Amino acid sequence: MSSYTNGGVVVVVDEMEKRERSAGGHLVLLPCPLQGHMNPMLHLANLLHSKGFSITIVHTQFKSPNPSGYPSDINFKSIPDGLSKDQEDDLVSLLLNLNLNCEAPVRDFLLQMQSNRSGQEPFLGIIHDASLYFVSAIADDMKLPRFAFKTNNMTFYVGYLLTTQKGCHPIKDEELEEPVFVLPFLKIKDLPEVKSSDLHIQVGKMVDATRTATAVICNTLKQLEQNALPMFQQDLSIPVFLVGPLHKYSISPPTTATDRSCISWLDTQAPSSVIYISFGSLVTISGSELVEMAWGLANSKKNFLWVVRPSSVHNSQWVELLPKEFEELITNGRGRIVKWVPQQEVLAHPAIGGFWTHSGWNSTLESITEGVPMLCSPRFGDQRINARLVSCVWGVGIQIENDGMERGLIEKSIRRVMVDKEGMEMKRRAMDLKEKIEISLNKGGSSYVASEKLKFFIKNG
Ligand code: UDX
């Protein structure tokens, strides 16, 4: 017997299972070094490992993952990336530099790995974040199967297609409130913006790399996206495996900043009484937005657990701009402000009654799998589309009107989700959705079947 620890849980692996594993064949996984992309790729690694494949994760030195929460026979290989620490401030240039700088070291590593493999289990292919389009040339040259992994959803992909068809011309003001013809629950203003020709070229390369892959793996499930599914499949015309929500296969390992004391604080709170607030790993806010959020929370009278990442408030280190009176609420036990939490555990905690989120796709999936209704404040990328799915398609949350960050509007919106009859309806629908997701993950369910088909496809082509 051997064991490893994942999210505080000790997982025991017996030798028989290990032997079956080594019979599976070898896969290389290439994540994009952003939290919202890394987490689902690592969950996919765990899923494929549990299905018998041996796994090497090839990652950048920039934002390298913490291997401690994963089985010891998952290999982590770091490659030089030439990226600077502040690279995350400009996502378009991060993407460009990743694709420029990583091709040579990844190619060298894979060629060396392949030449040392004689007598070992077969090298079955590369699974790469769909944004790392440079992998396509390497896989073609090495004649390897290539699987594009989409960490966000199908509706966003279709949204990107619609935007890029228009070119990078700015959307006219009078068009913003118009519904999108093929996906009428979206408005034109929800579509991803492709403002510069640089980004337009990058998106084109990502779409090409997805279309020309051997197959596509997507962290979603068909029950969530009936509207976009036919257009997604029609555009790709290659096998598509909808295996989400992947975070149900493992817990993200804690980072150095993870504050576990919030769980014991939640243990002292009444069921469904606390609103959890987090805007993910990238969104930043202004000092005045921080103050409006604080007063909106205070006036809502609901208890709160609030994640404020260091340096995520403009011109400040952390929460120094909060008024003294608000800090008193915290000392009086009404709330906690922390730097990072074990989010999957927080959302699964019975004390949580609502989630005020920026509508990142991982946060959205993590919330619906626990039946937690949402208050959405989307900012960029896929977030507006995700917020529309939440509010207009699944009916499990609301979007703050006009994306307002004003204390009165925030107070009213929190009460709509946490107190009003409307919120009780959202909770009921969220619990129904949670059940549907559980069914899809159980034996015979759609995500379970997709993951079994993926295993067969990787092994047999
Ligand atoms: C980014 C984009 O912003 C998002 O829109 C896209 O869908 C994925 O890439 P991010 O902004 O970080 O991601 O949001 P999200 O997708 O929600 O991912 C955040 C991850 O960090 C989640 O898995 C969440 O569980 C985790 N997290 C967040 C924590 O573990 N602790 C925290 O305190 C906050």
Peptide bond into 342 cis (omega under 30): no
Q: Grade residue 175 by pLDDT with cuts at 50, 70 and 90.
A: confident
Residue 131 in contact with ligand 1 by CB distance below 6 A: no
Please give the pLDDT value at position 68: 84
Domain for residue 424, yes or no? no
Ligand 1 atom with minimal separation from the 381 CA: 5
Residues 273, 244 within the same domain: no
Residues 248, 282 within the same domain: no
Domain for residue 215, yes or no? yes
Minimal-distance CA residue to ligand 1 atom 25? 343
Q: Per DSSP, what are the bridge partners of residue 123?
A: 26
Q: Each residue of 50-63: pLDDT tens digit?
A: 999 999 999 999 99
Rounded Cα–Cα distance for residues 131 and 31 (Å): 9
Please give the pLDDT value at position 168: 54
Residues 230, 315 within the same domain: no
Residues 227, 113 within the same domain: yes
Tally of helices (H runs) and strands (E runs) in the chain: 17, 15
Q: Each residue of 28-42: pLDDT tens digit?
A: 999 999 999 999 999
Q: Which domain holds residue 269?
A: 261-419
- Does residue 8 register a pLDDT over 70? no
Please give the pLDDT value at position 442: 96
Residues 288, 359 within the same domain: yes
Domain for residue 65, yes or no? yes
Please give the pLDDT value at position 397: 98
Residues 246, 265 within the same domain: no
Residues 408, 336 within the same domain: yes
276 phi and psi angles, rounded to 5 deg: -100, 135
Q: What CA–CA distances, in Å, run from 41 to 44, 70, 72, 243?
A: 5, 12, 17, 12
Minimal-distance CA residue to ligand 1 atom 30? 343
In the reported structure, the alpha carbon of residue 352 is separated from the centroid of ligand 1 by a whole-number distance in angstroms of: 18
Q: Grade residue 166 by pLDDT with cuts at 50, 70 and 90.
A: low
Residues 211, 277 within the same domain: no
The preferred substitution site among 363, 370, 383 for testing ligand 1, maximizing ligand atoms within 8 Å of CB, is 363
In the reported structure, the alpha carbon of residue 361 is separated from the centroid of ligand 1 by a whole-number distance in angstroms of: 7
Residue 382 in contact with ligand 1 by CB distance below 6 A: yes
* Number of domains the chain is built from: 2
Dihedral sign computed on CA atoms, order 347, 349, 351, 353 = positive
Residues 92, 197 within the same domain: yes
- Mean pLDDT of the region 368-385: 97
Residue 32 in contact with ligand 1 by CB distance below 6 A: no
Please give the pLDDT value at position 169: 59
Domain for residue 430, yes or no? no
Domain for residue 434, yes or no? no
Domain for residue 322, yes or no? yes
Q: Grade residue 204 by pLDDT with cuts at 50, 70 and 90.
A: very high
Residues 187, 289 within the same domain: no
- Does residue 134 register a pLDDT over 90? yes
Residues 126, 239 within the same domain: yes
Domain for residue 108, yes or no? yes
Supply the CATH number for residue 362's domain: 3.40.50.2000
Residues 186, 281 within the same domain: no
Domain for residue 285, yes or no? yes
Q: Grade residue 92 by pLDDT with cuts at 50, 70 and 90.
A: confident
In the reported structure, the alpha carbon of residue 325 is separated from the centroid of ligand 1 by a whole-number distance in angstroms of: 30
Ligand 1 atom with minimal separation from the 341 CA: 33
Minimal-distance CA residue to ligand 1 atom 11? 280
Minimal-distance CA residue to ligand 1 atom 8? 36
Please give the pLDDT value at position 170: 62
- Please answer whether residues 454 and 389 qualify as being in contact, where contact means their C-beta atoms are separated by less than 8 angstroms: no
